Chains A and B, each alone.
Chain A
Amino acid sequence: MQNSEKRSMTEVHNLRDVAIIGIGETQIGELWDKSLRELGIEAGLKALKDAGLHGDEVEKLYVGNMSAGKLINQEHVAPLIADYAGISEVPSTRIESGSASGGMALAEGYKAVASGMEDIVVVGGAEKMTDVGEQEAKDILSSTADQEWETVFGATFDSLYAMMARYHMDNHGTTKDQLAQVAVKNHANAAKNPNAQYPRETSKKFVKNAPMVADPLGMFDCAPISDGGAAVVLCPAERADSFDGDPVEIVSLGQGGDHMAVHERRDIGTMKATERAAKKAYKRASVKPQDIDFAEVHDNYTITEIMAIEDLGFFEKGEGGRATEEGKTELNSDISINTSGGLKAKGRPVGAVGLNQAVEAVLQLRGEAGERQVDQPGYGLIHNIGGTGASAIVHILRRWS
């Protein structure tokens, strides 16, 4: 074990290296005329086409989905999507971990291939959020907090994150301007992303003047309610060059956990689940935060991005707001954060978010991110959290060679 830090994750665990050989993504937005199954199928077929594969070559399907049961009254969605995609015989499993469902599904797909159990695995994520009213959708998001100890007493998702923001402001001097700058940056990136729900720029003044949601978080500090899907195709890296898609390696992953209820946490200005997940992922990949060139981090609120870039080790605790204000997280600055526009502006089809992040990371590492391309990135990191931070998953990726 002493030498394990010098060896790769796959060597340590006697696993196979895993590559992403295909990606697919739907438009994200209020897609009134698209159902959950259509979103899942569209993303999956695009990913298979990108890899140059056919449905009958798929050995396993994982579907990240947070709350189809509540949002569209449909459980058992993995075989539903497989069936309507014309691959009903393929084994399929839905993975749920709140808003980290997509990232967790990717982790399960990784394990299936790395372990040698399967070769060709499709990991998709899809969420249909606009079939219910906005208030109901918000209540469903809030159900990823502790129902018995938090939401039953009136706490909402927005208010719990507002408390974290207030704590961060009080303890680290983070300002509303700094929070607003997260939204401004992510909108600027989304303006260069054709799949984004809000592909347009905004200003700090506009963000700060938006109607209040839960003090200090205004409407533009919050990610939207979205429909959308995303998918990737995984295979053993040794076979990666035999497919059409330019392969990207999943170098490592790390998952972390924390108390379900926010009041159980000692320091609500830090997401321990993120710290724990990141620590494992860095160790397994033998890289340091400084080695990461770009990251897609979970920005369901502007404060969440500020906490994430600290907890992932890109900046010292308490420096996230300042770093953002100084432009250090803009495209091609110190570290490019949320080049896709993030949950804030690219959109939040909640159970698909982790896969949306993976798609962005692959585009960046392939050099196919167009106007929002990061200059010759080495390592990319994706970070997806569940609920108010009781679960978190981090993947580190790089180009396969």
Chain B
Amino acid sequence: MKPKDDVGIKGYAGYVPKYRIAPKEVGDVWGKDGELMGRSLRINSKSVPSPDEDVVTISTQAAKWAMERAEIDSDEIDAIYVGSESHPYAVKPTATIVAASLAASPNLTAADYEFACKAGTAAFQTCMGLVSSGMIENGMAIGADTSQGAPGDALEFSAAAGGAAYLIGSENILARFNYTCSYTTDTPDFWRREGEKYPQHGGRFTGKPAYFKHITNCTNKLLKETGKEPGDYDYAVFHQPNGKFPMKAAKKMGFSKEQIEPGLLVTRIGNTYSGAVPLGLAATLDQAEPGDKILVTSYGSGAGSDSFDIVVTDNIEKVKEQSVPKIEEVISKEEFISYAKYAKFREKIHDGGA
């Protein structure tokens, strides 16, 4: 899918809650070797949202910084799409609250997206379409999550919180979207039914027939359709449910450790679901130079992948002088908490009202 006219990223930013929990702390509670689990998942710690943080607050903070970076006013935003699988409401959009918080209401279109971990990149594509067709000037695409793992489930070692926002437009862009493509099937590897608090997953079924199949097919499709090779890119960002999967997928497709490392945040903050690829791309842009080429492939269970071919423009230079916090600055604020505090924050235990 080649955009009709110029479209790219005018501003971007990410937000990740400061609280962290270590795999050992989780493992100790459930009688598992948490350190071993952490090593095998390549996750040293994961982020935990405080009780006052949710997809709305994460999205709003990221979007505010993205606007600051793009140097645009809130009334210039024509669309907001928030991709998440942990929207605070089942019915009532996150996007309207974010729009109101940014003072972008009411002259805009807004909606929520859900596609497991790739709802954020689905929002990218929507904004790309609206901008490149000339229907809107500026669209805000957000991917954010505060994902839950059932007590005792393996997901407790990885499910984290965070998100990133992208202001997509056609002028003064920091990076251009040259091409995007998707690969979508009906694959039940991970799901949460209506009314259920915690998601369920198919164990190792989430690997080969799910993550790896979609990531590799979508990436290879992009490479084929654009006539490029892994070596043509300076950086690559893949969805990162843990540290092991993206490393393995990258190696299999011929990408190097050096290409993916700048965007590989999962080892420090865990799997931020819809926020994972947008955050990884943001961290990569933070250190990119004009002309750098970036390949991005997201993955959402259920299942599908979106790939993007991105080239960085000269405007990236101005980012380096701005006071908007870079991803490294955001995620280096860490406060480790106990499982007990984590259980309270994540509402696994409740105030008894005494």
Instruction: List chain A positions with a Cβ less than 8 A from chain B.
Output: 30, 32-33, 130, 133-134, 211-212
Contact = CB atoms under 8 A, between A and B. Distances in A.
A133 B203 contact: yes
Given A32-B208, A134-B203, 6 more contacts: A30-B204, A30-B208, A130-B205, A133-B202, A211-B32, A211-B33
Contacts of A212: 33
Interface in B27-59: 32-33, 36
A215 to B, nearest CB: 11
Contacts of B36: 211
Nearest to A133: B203
Interface of A is mostly: loop
B209 A33 contact: yes
Per CB-CB distance, the 6 closest pairs between chain A and chain B, nearest first, are A32-B209, A134-B203, A211-B33, A133-B203, A30-B204, A211-B36
B30 to A, nearest CB: 12
Contacts of A133: 202-203
Interface of B: 32-33, 36, 202-205, 208-209
Nearest to A211: B33
Nearest to A33: B209
Contacts of A134: 203-204
9 contacts: A30-B204, A30-B208, A32-B205, A32-B208, A32-B209, A134-B204, A211-B32, A211-B36, A212-B33
A32 B187 CA distance: 11
A133 B206 CA distance: 11
Nearest to B202: A133
A32 B211 CA distance: 13
B202 to A, nearest CB: 7
B146 to A, nearest CB: 25
Contacts of B202: 133
Contacts of B208: 30, 32
A164 to B, nearest CB: 22
Contacts of A30: 204-205, 208
B351 to A, nearest CB: 32
Contacts of B205: 30, 32, 130
Contacts of B209: 32-33
B37 to A, nearest CB: 8
Contacts of A33: 209
Contacts of B32: 211
A198 B202 CA distance: 20
A359 B203 CA distance: 30
A34 to B, nearest CB: 11
A133 B203 CA distance: 7
A377 to B, nearest CB: 36
A133 B204 CA distance: 9
Contacts of A130: 205
A401 B208 CA distance: 47
A134 to B, nearest CB: 5
A130 B205 CA distance: 8
